[in-house]
Amino acid sequence: MYICLMKIHKEGTTIIIITLLIVLSLHLLNEYLFNKLNIYILYIILLFLELFIFILVLQFFRVPKRIVYPKENEIRCPADGKVVVIEEVLEEEFFHDKRIQISIFMSPLNVHANYHPISGIIQYVKYHKGKYLVAWHPKSSTENERTTIVTKHQNGKSILFRQIAGAVARRICFYVKDQQEVSSATEFGFIKFGSRIDVFLPLDTKVNVKIGDKVKGKIDVLATF
């Protein structure tokens, strides 16, 4: 059970203001060119285009205020999107051993706020500059712009989660530092436009999702310890 309200993310402030100025300029041009000249069909088309652009930008930066109550053994979904990968892989950046990788693809229409999957202590944070391959490309996890974060749970187990920029995304935002104590289902970052999050879990973790599932950040349980 959860409660869902809505707000606009702080990362969208500048882009929304710029978009509003562009839309207002288009509207003034529309009024002058088409409305005053009584070309109403083109006026209405452009008016709808103005509204569409502004609403599209607003919806991208929306953040539902989801109130949840995670249990200690739950690993919550870090983002909204679609589960595109569940496989056993060799994690080579931090653990250097085999892990269960679960990848969530976020389209531009998804909520792009990112949430801590578990409570614990941050062990590792590193930002990597990189390419902008499409987010579903197999090499995007290791070659794209990305941020890697590792959190150690009170049970002694650690999980790694990685924000990955896509072909459209050009900025990854994260708000954590090494040795910081964090709580499950609280926000840790934001990725602008299409992107992906990879989560690397211990092999004995019970996975609660399957490929193709559409999940919601904070709300859905990705796996359990």
| Residues 149-183 pLDDT 10s | 999 999 999 999 999 987 665 678 899 999 999 99
Query: For 179-198, how does the pLDDT look when each residue is reduced to its tens digit (9 = 90+)?
Result: 999 999 999 999 876 688 99
Structural domains in the chain (count) = 2
Round to the nearest angstrom and report the end-to-end CA distance of the chain.
Answer: 21
Q: Do 188 and 93 lie in a common domain?
A: yes
Catalytic residue flag (residue 119): no
Predicted pLDDT at 142: 67
Q: How many CB atoms lie within 10 A of CB 166?
A: 25
Q: How many CB atoms lie within 10 A of CB 27?
A: 15
Q: Do 95 and 192 lie in a common domain?
A: yes
Q: Which of 26, 41, 63 is the last residue of a domain?
A: 63
Q: Which of 15, 30, 63 is the last residue of a domain?
A: 63
Instruction: Report residue 65's pLDDT band, with 50, 70 and 90 as the boundaries.
Output: confident
Cα–Cα distance measured from residue 166 to residue 194, given in angstroms and rounded to the nearest whole number: 5
Instruction: Report residue 27's pLDDT band, with 50, 70 and 90 as the boundaries.
Output: confident
Predicted pLDDT at 3: 45
Predicted pLDDT at 13: 86
Q: Do 102 and 129 lie in a common domain?
A: yes
In DSSP terms, 199 is beta-bridged to 102, 161
Instruction: Report residue 134's pLDDT band, with 50, 70 and 90 as the boundaries.
Output: low
205 pLDDT higher than 90: yes
Look up the CATH number of the domain holding residue 130. Answer: 2.70.70.10
Q: Do 14 and 109 lie in a common domain?
A: no
Phi, psi of 53 (to 5 degrees): -60, -45
Q: What is the mean pLDDT of the chain?
A: 88
Q: Do 43 and 76 lie in a common domain?
A: no
Predicted pLDDT at 139: 63
Q: Which domain holds residue 156?
A: 71-224
Q: Do 188 and 219 lie in a common domain?
A: yes
Q: Do 17 and 121 lie in a common domain?
A: no
Cα–Cα distance measured from residue 5 to residue 134, given in angstroms and rounded to the nearest whole number: 31
Q: Do 54 and 77 lie in a common domain?
A: no
pTM of the model: 0.83
Q: Which of 63, 96, 114 is the last residue of a domain?
A: 63
Catalytic member of 103, 141, 158, 195: 195
Q: Do 96 and 137 lie in a common domain?
A: yes
Q: Do 160 and 215 lie in a common domain?
A: yes
Predicted pLDDT at 41: 84
Q: Do 85 and 109 lie in a common domain?
A: yes
**Mean local confidence (pLDDT), 93-102:** 97
Query: For 80-93, how does the pLDDT look when each residue is reduced to its tens digit (9 = 90+)?
Result: 999 999 999 999 99
Cα–Cα distance measured from residue 100 to residue 118, given in angstroms and rounded to the nearest whole number: 16
Q: Do 37 and 87 lie in a common domain?
A: no
